[in-house]
Structures are given as structure tokens and as C-alpha cells.
Structure 1
Amino acid sequence: MAKIYGVIIIGSGPAGYTAAIYAARSNLSVLMLQGYSAGGQLMLTSEVENFPGFETGILGPEMMEKFESQARRFGTEMLPEDVISVDFSQRPFTVKTDLGEYQSRSIIIATGASAKWLGLPSEKQLQGRGVTACATCDGFFFKNRDVIVIGGGDTAMEEATFLTRYANHITIVHRRDTFRASKIMQDRAAKNPKISFLMNSEVTEVLGDEAVTGVRLRNTKTGEESTFDTQGVFLAIGHQPNTELFKGVIDMDAAGYIVPSEFTMTNIPGVFAAGDVTDHRYRQAITAAGDGCRAAIDLERWLAEQGDDVGVENWN
């Protein structure tokens, strides 16, 4: 007979792991469906310097290992499976993955967000051959090369600064005349002799056959076009929430971010959301973790209100 969990957590970034820690520590039976890319965006981050408690910084993957170990310590079951559908029509909810089917009395959606792309055919054609959205993943392959980073926020500054470890020179290409990045990140990049800036410019095409050789640029003010030689293109233009699976069922805003109806609960009673799937403003590990805490406390109280005893295994 199928086991019915107290909660199934979909996703495994800071929000998901923190929710698991709180829920499992409260003696709820917890199943986390981590996905095949467990750990979320911090798995693609090098040094994390602004998470309290790590005064000298910590590598993103190492931090996620610690989150996972702590969640396991309290009894969270974890499976590296991708969710393909969820039946929200009745409780217990049924969650299907590519390998199995699971039931729970509540759900926390913590699927995070993914990097955005320009949407150019040439960009897609050259992905993995000089076009990437992850400096920490691929920076090593661009030793002593000239590369560009596209974007104007903190992520662009952080990616460019990280790439100075490997690349010969990095040019940050931004379509506006001012950056969105925080002043400290801008200053750090500006002071680095290996980083320069190309403002009011957007990439309209990535050039190259077997590998990137350059980009075609358009001046956003004059419309003038030019080519720019480069051997690598790093995208840092933002993220989109991973909520496609829940469209038409869970209430979202125009950008696809889940909009909770009360605290962290969605429009479906018993279904909660936490982390970057609800956050288009802050998108920090610490705020995602805080959301995970809130969601776990909300669902625990909600289950108690329903009279559900989920601290022990429940079977059909």
C-alpha cells in the first residue's frame, strides 16, 4: 500500500531544504523530490559571502551539502527525481515523477528559478561551444581568452569578477546606460583591470560555426550595428520561475511567479510555495531559506487545524 507523507517538498534549493529541516524536526513525515539538478542555483555559485554564519565565505555546492545533511539528520527522505505532474484535485495529493508516484497531505513548491536566455537561434546553436549561463561551471574552459558577460545586475558583476580568475579580459555588455547592480558590486568590477564595460549595446547575434568567434551588437540609442570579437558569451540577464508545471492551477502573476493567497499558502488549501518561485525582488539564499521556514510552519499549523496526524507513517 502507498505511504501517505505529511508533506512532499518539490525542489531542493535553500527554500526546500530549510522547509524539510523544519517540517522533519516537527516530526512530520517528509519526502523531498530533489530533481536531477539537486541543490538549486547555489550549485552554480562559487563563493557565498553573505549568508550569516559563514564569516569567511563558503562554496555554494558545499553549503548545499550542509543543508542536505541537516535535513537528512531529522529524517527527511530524498529522491533525485523530476516531478512531471501533480493532482491537486483532492487530498491526499498525488505527485508523479518520471520514476514513481507519491502521495501527501500537503505540498511545498520550492522549484526555484532558472537563468534566462536571449532567445537567438545562434545562441542556442552555440550553447556549450562558447555560450553559457554559468561562469562557475564553465569559466575554467576560457583560460586566457577574451569573453563577454551580458547583463547589468549583481549577477553580471559577480560572473565577470569570477571570470577574471581564468579569462584574459572580460567585457560587460549592457543595453542601458546605467547598471541595476549594487554599488559595491559595480565598484568591485570597475576596479578590476581585467574588466571593461560596453554600455547601450545589445547582442543581436552570436557569431561562429563550431565555436564562438564574436557577436553582432546593436547600439540601443543610435541603432548602429557592429561586430565584437570574443571567444565566450556568458549570459547574466535574470531568471524565470520554474512554475510551468503548475500553470492554470496555482495562482501566478504575469511573469509566472506564484502569488500566495495567505502567508505562504497558495490558492489551493494545503499547497504552499517558498523561495524564488514567489520572489522576483530579492532572490537571495537567505530570503529563500526564510521562506522555507515560513512555509513549513504554515503547513504544520494548517495540518493541525485539519486534525491530521502525520507525525507517524500513514498507510492506505
Structure 2
Amino acid sequence: MLDCAIIGGGPAGLTAGLYTTRGGLKNVTLFETGMPGGQITQSSEIENYPGFFEHDKTGMDFMDTWQKQCFHFGLRHEMKKVERVAKTGEHFTVTLEGGESVEALTVIVCTGSTPKRAGIKGEDEYFGKGVSTCATCDGFFYKDKPVTVLGGGDTALEEAFYLSNICSDVYVVHRRDTFRAAPATIDRAMRKENIHFVTNAVIDEIVGDAMGVTGVNIKHNDGTMTHMDNTGLFVFVGHNVNNEVLKDQNGDFICEMNQRGQVIVDLCMRTSVEGLYAAGDIRIEAPKQVVSAAGDGSVAALQVISYIQEQQ
């Protein structure tokens, strides 16, 4: 019987593992099919994590020290895919790929979310080299330079506004002439002088060279094409929440979720199921930042320790 099963090996999961094991729990396993680290390992540079300001270090370098620290205190890592989690009596059954299962007193789900790709030609080639899905993470790299934002929802316009305070000009490309964002968000973006809207259009291709993105080709609804020189493209077309492990065999969620498929938690990362916690990008209102995910993981871990002590 595990004291705690942690599902997902990004910043939230690793921090949860660190705090649970250093806090005295002896039997904690982190389930992650690959090497832990999460999406941040794909970043070529880290500038906005407090205390880490080494420009020659990549996201992989950044997370490498996290792994060493967490495993030092006794966290075990199982490279096995978790199929689902179920509450069985006073504990949980964690079913793994192939039918194997383990029992756990508590579970912390940290499987995160994955930004949707737009499927544009050149998107994969230049991802991390001018194509980004996080303005907070990468906006500063384009200080006083023009950038393009793709999308028409709340996130796209909020991130465009954020970028407008850093970049010289922000061009928002949207396939329609109306936006899905909240009226207040639209109004705020419309009033910003350096935010420009390119509506009834899509990005047909991302172009660049060995140094990265140099511009985008835009296809308008009337069939005409235009080229826009740019050094950065921010894609905001939604996220896929990685919540499959929280579905039962009938496809129903075992805890309360919102309409976007995000886990509803309180400030202690507690779900509607006693002993089940969610941390990081899978939860509601997640800022999608490493520092925030790490904070979530520590909060969930401390709650797990208290919960187990109360049960005993």
C-alpha cells in the first residue's frame, strides 16, 4: 500500500514528491512514462523562475536538479502509464497499463494540460525557435519587436494585451471578425494602440531560417495572401486537459470538473473526493507557470501528510 501515488512528473508532481518524502512519508511513488520534467524541458532558456538566471541553461538543465533533489529523499519513479484512478473503500486503486494495479492511501494528480497546436506549416519546425504558447514565459525575448498572436478567445486577447506592454506591436490574427472572448477583454484589447487586428484570416505558413521565425504568411478569407515580417508567433487555440486518468470505466469523471475538463479544487488542492488532490495545470484557474505548479505540488503534499496523520 502506497502512502501516496503521484501521477505526472512535471514541476507539480516532482515538488509533491519532494514534500511528501521529505515530510516523512516512506512509501511514495511517482508515475511518469518518461523522464520527469514536464513541458518546461522543451524551453531553450529560463528567465522568470526566481533564483534561476543562468542564460546558458536550458529547461532540461533546470529540471535535472529537481529530479536529483526529489529522488534523494526517497521518492520512487515508475515509468508506467496510469490508465485510471478509483476510490475503493478507504483507499484508492491505481490501474496501470496492462492491467496491473497498486493501492494507495492518497493520490495527487499532476498530469497537466497540453497546448493545442494549430496545425500550421512550419509550426513544429519552429516551435521553441519563435513559435510559443506562453506569453509570460517568452514575451520578454521579443522586447520592442513586433509579434503575431493567433487566436480569438479570452486567452489570446489577454496574452496579446500582456505582450503589448513588452513588444512594439502585436498583430492578432483571427479567422472571424467576431471574438469569443469576454466583452471587457475585447474592449481592453481594442483600446490598446499597438494591438492590431487581422480578422477573417488564418496563418497559412510560418517561415524562417536557421536562427528561427522571420515571418508568417497570412491567407485572407477572400483568397488573397500577405506576408508579415515577424520574429515571434504566439499560438493560443486552446488546451487539452490531460484528465483521462480521472475517468472511470464508463467514461465518467470520479470527481467534480468544470466545463473545460479541469479539476475543481479548493485552496488546499483538495478535490470533491476525500484523499484525492490535483495540482498544476490540470486544476481550475491554473496560471500555467512552473513556479505556480511547484507551489500547488507543495500545498497538495502538505495536505496529504495531514490527511494521513488524521487517518492514523
Deviation at 1:197, TM superposition (A): 8.2
- Could you tell me how far apart the structure 2 residues matched to 1:172 and 1:179 are? 12
Identity of aligned residues (%): 24
Structure 2 equivalent of residue 243 of structure 1: 243
Letter in 1 for 2:106: S
Q: 1:40 to 1:261 in 2, by over 3 A?
A: same
- SS across alignment from 1:132: coil
Structure 1 equivalent of residue 127 of structure 2: 135
Structure 1 equivalent of residue 18 of structure 2: 21
Deviation at 1:245, TM superposition (A): 2.9
Whether 1:172 aligns to 2:148 is yes
Matches within 5 A, 1:32-181: 32-36=30-34, 38-56=36-54, 58-98=57-97, 100-118=100-118, 123=119, 130-132=122-124, 135-136=127-128, 139=129, 153-154=135-136, 157=139, 161=142, 172-175=148-151, 179-181=157-159
Structure 2 equivalent of residue 299 of structure 1: 304
- SS across alignment from 1:84: strand
Q: 1:102 to 1:244 in 2, by over 3 A?
A: same
Letter in 1 for 2:298: C
Deviation at 1:202, TM superposition (A): 6.0
- Could you tell me how far apart the structure 1 residues matched to 2:163 and 2:149 are? 15
Structure 2 equivalent of residue 312 of structure 1: none
- Which runs of no fewer than 5 residues in structure 2 stay unpaired? 171-193, 207-215, 248-252
Deviation at 1:156, TM superposition (A): 7.1
Aligned pair count? 268
- Which runs of no fewer than 5 residues in structure 1 stay unpaired? 140-146, 163-168, 219-223, 308-316
Kindly provide the CA deviation profile for residues 28-47 of structure 1, in whole angstroms up to 9, marking residues without a partner as x. 11100023363112112222
- Could you tell me how far apart the structure 1 residues matched to 2:35 and 2:201 are? 29
- Could you tell me how far apart the structure 2 residues matched to 1:243 and 1:204 are? 30
Question: Contact conserved, 2:5 with 2:107, CA < 8 A, in 1?
Answer: yes
TM-score normalized by structure 2?
0.71
- Could you tell me how far apart the structure 2 residues matched to 1:98 and 1:36 are? 14
Structure 1 equivalent of residue 199 of structure 2: 201
Deviation at 1:303, TM superposition (A): 0.8
Whether 1:287 aligns to 2:284 is no
- Could you tell me how far apart the structure 1 residues matched to 2:109 and 2:30 are? 10
Letter in 2 for 1:298: Q
- Could you tell me how far apart the structure 2 residues matched to 1:228 and 1:44 are? 31
- SS across alignment from 1:181: helix
Question: Contact conserved, 1:16 with 1:292, CA < 8 A, in 2?
Answer: yes
Whether 1:272 aligns to 2:277 is yes
Greater shift, 50-59 or 39-48, is seen at 50-59
- Could you tell me how far apart the structure 2 residues matched to 1:133 and 1:9 are? 33
Q: 1:131 to 1:94 in 2, by over 3 A?
A: same
- Could you tell me how far apart the structure 1 residues matched to 2:161 and 2:97 are? 44
- SS across alignment from 2:295: helix
Structure 2 equivalent of residue 144 of structure 1: none
Structure 1 equivalent of residue 5 of structure 2: 8
